[in-house]
Every structure is written in structure tokens, then in C-alpha cells.
Amino acid sequence: MKKEYCGIFAIYGNERAARMTYFGLYALQHRGQECAGIVTWDGQKSREQRGMGLVAEIFTERHLEHELKGNIAVGHVRYSTAGASLIRNAQPFTVRHGELEISIAHNGNLINALELRRELESQGAIFQSTMDTEVIAHYIVKYLQKADLEEAVRRACSHIKGAFSLVILVNDTMIALRDPNGIRPLSMGKLGNSYVFASETCAFDIMDATYLRDLEQSEMVIIEKGKIRSAFLREKAPKKQCIFELVYFARPDSQVFDLSVYGCRKRMGEILAQESAGVTDIDYVLPFPSSGNYAAVGYAQEAKLPLELAMIRNNYVGRTFIQPTQEMRDFSVNMKLNPVKDAIKGKKILIVEDSIVRGTTVRTRINRLKDCGAKEIHLRVSCPPVKFPCYYGIDFSSKGELIAANHTVEEIAKFIGLDSLHYLSVEGLQASVPTGEDFCYACFTGEYPIDYSGELCRMRLDK
């Protein structure tokens, strides 16, 4: 699954600000492996380091110890599709205006970025990147001519539509905020006397920071001259948190939207078991690690079936290896996961996966299990069929590539070669989380919480 998620970490008032941000980004690495950056404020000016690749590859001891000075820092990890893999798209995005240095770390996607960009351009604005984040910077600067920072940010955000959790650093003032629908997560915590912000709480755990709470939708938390206060962008819109964070994207050891990801996934598995109770004589439940593990635990407990961990992940598969030639194409799938042959042979197996997008990888895996002698293979998916594109930050393959957009469940089962296939229902998914109505299910239902008026909003700036 292609994705455009990002991860944010920020810290205010810590003498090891850059180092803590490094560790925070390390914990958030799953949210973006393409590029990363850290900006600090050294008391006089901002310092920055950005690069392509993993956090551990970009930053060195020299950066943390000597260059990224200061006790305020903002960091970002980013994943994006190949076309825009440019260092200049690495965040935090920094611009200068007079004495002000404005850095923005953004998680989410604006649906009216292109319209706003055209509008700003008609007023003479120029752009360096192809990121939607750049329009936010333009508006903040524009309103700073006539308003203070809090008000400038508020007015800037009044223009933008879509999903945005932001940490904005203007010299030594930090503002963290979530969009009015609260689509993307953002948590705050405390580490000694420092304040910390992160997309997921796993970034707090690594440094034993205390999780305080999530930012509310539309909330701005402002830290200025060491004082913290809360304000609001505008009236809150209905909460429409991204359910896919819980289904797939967030780490299971995180709290996201004030919910335990692990607990939610296990509950999805339980409800999935209830919904698809029909098949009998199953020998055991098998997750595809590691994404399917947690729903599988719930499914197995609910269905009172044994759980076997008989698909083995090669822990050394990294991002780079020599591609098999055309006729060895399945090698790369085999390299990542390999079944335990004698645990497969002659067995009726129920597999739990968290999602199916194009269906080709799962098909290769299922074929392999059949080659190993599996008697029956049943697949249970812990979310509903993904039928609609997401405009708020998850870059699913285009609609044409979403297998569920164009095929029935039966067709999919046949394509993959399954004895049975069940998806969790939308209602079941909604029931898996304590406050099911507070989430966006648009990728399953096509009911988009934020209206979009034209094609323009869906165009990507870099295309």
C-alpha cells in the first residue's frame, strides 16, 4: 500500500532537544522512510538538517552534538511516492521573512492546496517545492503583516481544507495544532520540564515521557517564552479521525486518538470472528506478520482456535537489495515472508490480514501456502473492502488499482484462490472502537467528511 503518511515529533525546553527529536523520529520511522529532517532554534537563529533515507542514515553524532543546537526542536519523517522524492520536499519546511524563521512540520493532506496556490500566485507568490505545506507558510506570512502569530496562524488555517496536524516553529515560539475534524493524530506529553508533541505515543515511550492528552480537533497549543496555553482555530467540526491509523498505520504499542491501537486491532479481530463464524474444522489461525498479528490474536481468542505463528519474517530484509530478474520475481515476496512448511501441510488454515489493496502480493503468498500442501485456505480481513481513494493523506493506489473498487468479494476470492474470504463490515469496524462515530470511513464508504468541489483539489502538485 502506497501511503503518504508522515510523522511529527517536537520538543520545547530541553537541553538535548535535537537528540530527543532524533529518538522520537526513530520511534516514528514506520510513518515515513523516504526522508527526514530536524530544525532547532539555537536562541539566535534556526539550525537544520534534512536528508533522504532513514533517520539513522541522515543524522550523525556531529549533527546532534554540534550543529543542531538549542533547546527547541521540530522533526519530521516523510513517505511519499517516487515522483516527488526530492530533498527539497523534506520537512520541516522552512522559510524566512525578515527576522522570522518559520518552520512547519505537517502530517496530512490539503484538498484545496492547488486552488490556494493559484490564488497566491495570482498575487505574485512564488513557490520552491511541490508540497501543499508551502501554501500554509505563505498565508502565515501574509497575515503576520497585520496580526500577531496566533491570529496569523488562525487566519492562515481558515483558508486550508483537508487533514492537517501541524507543528509550527517561529523563532522560539511553537504552535501545535490539529485540523477542525481532527483527521490526523497529535499527542502531547511531558518530559521533565519539557513539553513534547508526537504523532503517536510510542515516541514518548522511548524516552519515558509522560503522555498527557491528545490535542482536540481545532485546538492550537502555543508555547511562547516558556508559557503554554491553548486556543482554538475556529469552532470544532465533527470529529472525523482516520480509522486507518487504527486499522493499519499506527504502531500497535501506541495510543492514537487516545485509544490503544493494540486493543482496537484485537477487537477488530474479535468482531471479525463473530461476523464470519460459518467455516468449521479450521485447524488454526495464521496471521501474516507483523501487520496481521493483532487482529489474529483477537480472532483466535474469540473463535477459540489455536494461533500459529507459522509465517516467518526475514528480519534482515531492508530497503535495498538486488532485484531478482523478471523470471525470479516471486523471490522478493519469498524473501520477506516464508511459511513453515510442515506446519502448513494438510491443514485448514484461516489467515488474518489487515487489508488488501491490489491483491497481487497476497495472491503470491496464498499460492505458496498451497504449494506447501495447505488443504484449505480461508482469508479474513480486519477492515472492509477499500473502494475509494483517500484525499486526506493516505496515498492508496489509484481507484483503478483498488481491487475492491471494481470487483465483488467473490471475484476477489477467486482471483486470490481462496476457499473463503470475509471482510469486516463497516458496522463491525465502527463497533471495534469505543467512539465509532468519531471516525472517517470514506475509503470504505465514499462518504467524504470534507466537501470538495472539483477535480482540482485532487490533483497533486507534483504531477
Report in angstroms the alpha-carbon separations of 131 from 74, 96, 105, 107, 149: 18, 17, 11, 12, 22
Q: Which of 43, 66, 96, 408 binds its own copies (CB under 8 A)?
A: 96
Footprint (CB under 8 A) of its own copies, residues 288-307: 290, 293-294, 297, 300-301, 306-307
Q: Which is nearer to its own copies, 39 or 403 (CB)?
A: 39
CA-atom Rg of the chain in angstroms: 23
Q: Which of 1, 52, 258, 263 binds its own copies (CB under 8 A)?
A: 263
Report yes or no: 291 and 265 within 8 Å, Cβ to Cβ: no
End-to-end CA distance of the chain: 20
CB of 385 to its own copies, least distance (A): 26
Burial 345-360 (b: 16+ CB within 10 A, else e): eebbbbbbbbbbbebe
Which residues lie below 8 Å from residue 23, measured CB to CB, with a gap of 6+? 203, 206, 207
Q: Binding residues for its own copies, how many (CB under 8 A)?
A: 84
Report yes or no: 6 and 392 within 8 Å, Cβ to Cβ: no
Which residues lie below 8 Å from residue 418, measured CB to CB, with a gap of 6+? 366, 377, 378, 379
Omega before residue 260 within 30° of 0, cis: no
Rounded to whole angstroms, the Cα distance separating 250 from 403 reads: 23
Report yes or no: 78 and 6 within 8 Å, Cβ to Cβ: yes
CB of 35 to its own copies, least distance (A): 13
Footprint (CB under 8 A) of its own copies, residues 207-246: 207-208
CB of 13 to its own copies, least distance (A): 17
Helices (H), 212-308: 243-244, 261-275, 293-303
Q: Which is nearer to its own copies, 103 or 430 (CB)?
A: 103
Q: Which of 82, 235, 281, 318 binds its own copies (CB under 8 A)?
A: 318
CB of 232 to its own copies, least distance (A): 25
Footprint (CB under 8 A) of its own copies, residues 143-172: 145
Which residues lie below 8 Å from residue 274, measured CB to CB, with a gap of 6+? 302, 428
Report in angstroms the alpha-carbon separations of 32 from 29, 55, 80, 115: 6, 10, 8, 27
Q: Which of 322, 400, 437, 451 binds its own copies (CB under 8 A)?
A: 322
Q: Which of 142, 178, 239, 240 binds its own copies (CB under 8 A)?
A: 142
Partnered with residue 189 across adjacent β-strands are 196, 211
Q: Which of 56, 212, 456, 459 binds its own copies (CB under 8 A)?
A: 56
Footprint (CB under 8 A) of its own copies, residues 402-441: none
Q: Does 198 contact its own copies by CB under 8 A?
A: no
Q: Which of 3, 69, 76, 138 binds its own copies (CB under 8 A)?
A: 138
CB of 317 to its own copies, least distance (A): 8
Grid coordinates representing 177 are 495544532
Per-residue binding string, its own copies, 26-45, x by CB under 8 A, is xx-xx--x------------
Q: Which is nearer to its own copies, 136 or 390 (CB)?
A: 136
CB of 205 to its own copies, least distance (A): 5
Rounded to whole angstroms, the Cα distance separating 24 from 196 reads: 10
The interface region with its own copies, picked from 220-228, 238-246, 333-341, 425-433 by CB under 8 A, is 333-341
Q: Which of 39, 73, 74, 102 binds its own copies (CB under 8 A)?
A: 102
CB of 87 to its own copies, least distance (A): 7
Q: Which is nearer to its own copies, 61 or 410 (CB)?
A: 61
- At residue 363, what is the residue type? R
Residue tagged active-site, from 6, 35, 157, 242: 6
Look at residues 381, 318, 373, 329 and name the one whose alpha carbon lies nearest to residue 354: 381
Q: Does 22 contact its own copies by CB under 8 A?
A: yes
Secondary structure element (H or E) that encloses residue 212, with its range: strand 210-214
Q: Which is nearer to its own copies, 115 or 219 (CB)?
A: 115
Rounded to whole angstroms, the Cα distance separating 389 from 405 reads: 9
Q: Which is nearer to its own copies, 261 or 450 (CB)?
A: 261
CB of 126 to its own copies, least distance (A): 4
The interface region with its own copies, picked from 6-14, 58-66, 163-171, 439-447 by CB under 8 A, is 58-66
Footprint (CB under 8 A) of its own copies, residues 353-372: none
Helix, strand or coil, per DSSP, at residue 204: helix
Active site residue 242: no
Phi and psi angles of residue 261, each rounded to the nearest 5 degrees, phi first: -60, -45
Rounded to whole angstroms, the Cα distance separating 175 from 177 reads: 7
Grid coordinates representing 402 are 483498488
Q: Does 312 contact its own copies by CB under 8 A?
A: yes
CB of 237 to its own copies, least distance (A): 28
Q: Which of 6, 8, 64, 222 binds its own copies (CB under 8 A)?
A: 64
Q: Which of 212, 277, 328, 459 binds its own copies (CB under 8 A)?
A: 328
Footprint (CB under 8 A) of its own copies, residues 104-133: 118, 121-128, 130
Q: Annotated active-site positions, please? A: 6
